[in-house]
Amino acid sequence: MTDPETLSVTIVDGYVDEPAHFGVPPYISTYPRYTAGALVDAGVPREQITYHTIDGLRDDTDRWRDVDEADLMIYLGGMTVPGKYVGGTPAEPDEVRKLAWTASGTSLMGGPVKFGVGDENAGATETERQDLDFDFVAKGDVEAAVFDLVESGLEGFNNRMRDVDEVSRWAQEGAFVVEQHPNHPDHLIAELETSRGCAYRCSFCTEPLYGNPSFRPPPTVVGEVDALSDYGVKHFRIGRQADILAYGGDGEAPNPDALRQLYSGIREVAPDLETLHLDNMNPITIVKWPEKSREGIRIIAEHNTPGDTAAFGLESADPVVQEQNNLNVSAEECFEAVRIVNEEGGWRPGEEPTDAPTFGDDAPRRLPKLLPGINLLHGLKGEREETYERNMAFLQRVYDEGYMLRRINIRQVMAFDGTDMSDTGAEIANEHKKLFKRYKKQVREEIDNPMLERVAPPGTVLPDVHLEYHQDGTTFGRQLGTYPLLVGVPGERALGQTIDVAVVDHGYRSVTAVPYPLDLNAASMDELTAIPGIGSSTAGDIVVDRPYESVADAGLDTTVDLSQFVTTRPLERAN
């Protein structure tokens, strides 16, 4: 029998990406936090719990000693909707195996990895469940398995789910572990869970494997935010649920009172938070209960921070695909939901919410409070060439009728055991690969680019962009938040710092921006030429004729309104 008080435990975070749960840096998912809380609740002292991310292990091989020497090594990971990531690289199956081989103590693997593992982390693949040489695989909730395993003296556990009381306790007791994350404190965003499970049964989705929705009551989520903010977390995303609007209701219909308690409670315990975003809103909820949904969306837009995105799982605008895959929303219904979110959440700080949606010259230069995002999934049953045309037509209609989308996510299906898609597998996705590629390019060029210009016109200020990497003489960074815009700033700036920027130009899914405010008396040639209308000879003249007393003094003729983001510092300070 192993005494929990003497137990040393190492948690390794290989990252997760699930339909309604994200945990690739700068995000930290709920898994390591709940697991650490379950360990403490079972009697393991906090100081004996070590937490590493897989990137942390890659960066410093000495850390593998903690994997080797721990009495209990817990691996958390699994990608059920893999994408491309800037902030971290998820653990590949071979690395996970190496963890199991390295661990001298007991090894346990949990998280969405229980749904299956492909040959690599990629879409259009089939998966199967593997133990990757671990002693134990948690087929229920990993945090419950960890608690029971420690209680049993490392003998074993039943595969069970945790209950609401447990998760409320564990979420708070495990908050301390965030301090061991390499991104702590400034560049870390905590994913918050408000519910699991879904009332619907889309063919490809792993969320229904959690059953019907069960909600965490507002005080337990608010208590967790309180604990996390005590440990220095300032950025939060309410992303672990299938539908934020259904929160605290009967499973399908909205309950605005519960949403109000949740959002106002969070603002009360974390008044200095810098990011409060969400993920996942089901468009069918908005269409079925429009008035209650409008109220819920207003509550969210009042409490959140700008740039928030309500991701809609339209998946396909083709009725044939919709029918064959049990998708719950039609293109027409989704369009209606897009309209309603635009009307209630599409306002910008500094203007009246009733003006929404706003864009164009008169709109304040900040991102809108809450806009819809659209998820499209390819390779589903019944997919045909026409499916691609219908999806394009849907997106074009949203643009043409004057609404905004914050992002369009297009991916190919991954077929998991236990979902309806497992029979079809990756066959259709593979057959349509060429078509998929062509269409994706078309969406990027014809929709994403003009839409981005509508959402974030030149002069839009993006505060607190974290500078992450250099490429071809440009520094790239992002704000912390849900689906943040990729921002390219001319020149190679020191990485790891945070700056305010103003948008000057648009790519397909990224923007070019200059530091905000841009001082005409100090701006570099690269920064000046990034502004549309300023070529290298004008930029050269600007530099030669410095200093200026005012922007007007420079007499520049640009299509972009420079007064919104360009300034001249007092002459005595400029040099």
Residues within the interface to ligand SF4 (CB under 6 A) = 19-20, 198, 200-202, 205, 207-208, 242, 282, 313, 328
Q: Which is nearer to ligand SF4, 41 or 252 (CB)?
A: 252
Minimum CB–partner distance for residue 490 and ligand SF4 (Å)? 40
Please give the Cα distance from 391 to 394 (Å, whole number). 5
Minimum CB–partner distance for residue 381 and ligand SF4 (Å)? 14
Q: Which is nearer to ligand SF4, 107 or 316 (CB)?
A: 316
Strands 189-193 and 235-240: parallel
Minimum CB–partner distance for residue 208 and ligand SF4 (Å)? 5
Q: Which is nearer to ligand SF4, 204 or 565 (CB)?
A: 204
Which tokens go with 516?
């905000």
Q: What is the largest CA-CA distance in the chain?
A: 81
- Distance between start and end Cα atoms, the chain: 72
Cβ contacts of residue 389 below 8 Å, gap of 6+? none
Instruction: Report the C-alpha dihedral over residues 307, 414, 393, 297, rounded to 10 degrees.
Output: -30
Which tokens go with 340?
């309603």
Torsion angles phi and psi, residue 74, rounded to 5: -115, 125
Minimum CB–partner distance for residue 115 and ligand SF4 (Å)? 13
Q: Which is nearer to ligand SF4, 157 or 394 (CB)?
A: 394
Q: Which is nearer to ligand SF4, 413 or 462 (CB)?
A: 413
Residue 469's DSSP bridge partners are: 476
Q: Which is nearer to ligand SF4, 281 or 502 (CB)?
A: 281
Minimum CB–partner distance for residue 285 and ligand SF4 (Å)? 10
Minimum CB–partner distance for residue 30 and ligand SF4 (Å)? 17
Minimum CB–partner distance for residue 331 and ligand SF4 (Å)? 16
Please give the Cα distance from 37 to 261 (Å, whole number). 25
Do 44 and 35 touch, CB atoms closer than 8 A?
A: no
Minimum CB–partner distance for residue 141 and ligand SF4 (Å)? 18
Minimum CB–partner distance for residue 313 and ligand SF4 (Å)? 5
Minimum CB–partner distance for residue 205 and ligand SF4 (Å)? 3
Closest CA to 13 of 178, 200, 216, 196: 178
Strands 49-53 and 235-240: unpaired
Q: Is the dihedral of CA 261, 264, 269, 270 positive or negative?
A: positive
Q: Which is nearer to ligand SF4, 11 or 314 (CB)?
A: 314
The residue type at 160: R
Q: H-type helices in 184-312, by residue range?
A: 218-230, 256-269, 283-288, 290-303
Instruction: Please state, as a whole number, how many other Cβ atoms lie within 10 Å of the Cβ of residue 60.
Output: 11
Closest CA to 295 of 327, 350, 332, 258: 258
Asked if the peptide bond before residue 185 counts as cis, ω within 30 degrees of 0, the response is yes
H or E, element range at 39: helix 30-41
Instruction: Please state, as a whole number, how many other Cβ atoms lie within 10 Å of the Cβ of residue 242.
Output: 26
Q: Which is nearer to ligand SF4, 325 or 521 (CB)?
A: 325
Q: Which is nearer to ligand SF4, 205 or 370 (CB)?
A: 205
Closest CA to 72 of 40, 92, 50, 95: 50
Q: Which is nearer to ligand SF4, 20 or 258 (CB)?
A: 20
Minimum CB–partner distance for residue 26 and ligand SF4 (Å)? 24
Q: Which is nearer to ligand SF4, 199 or 225 (CB)?
A: 199
The residue type at 420: D
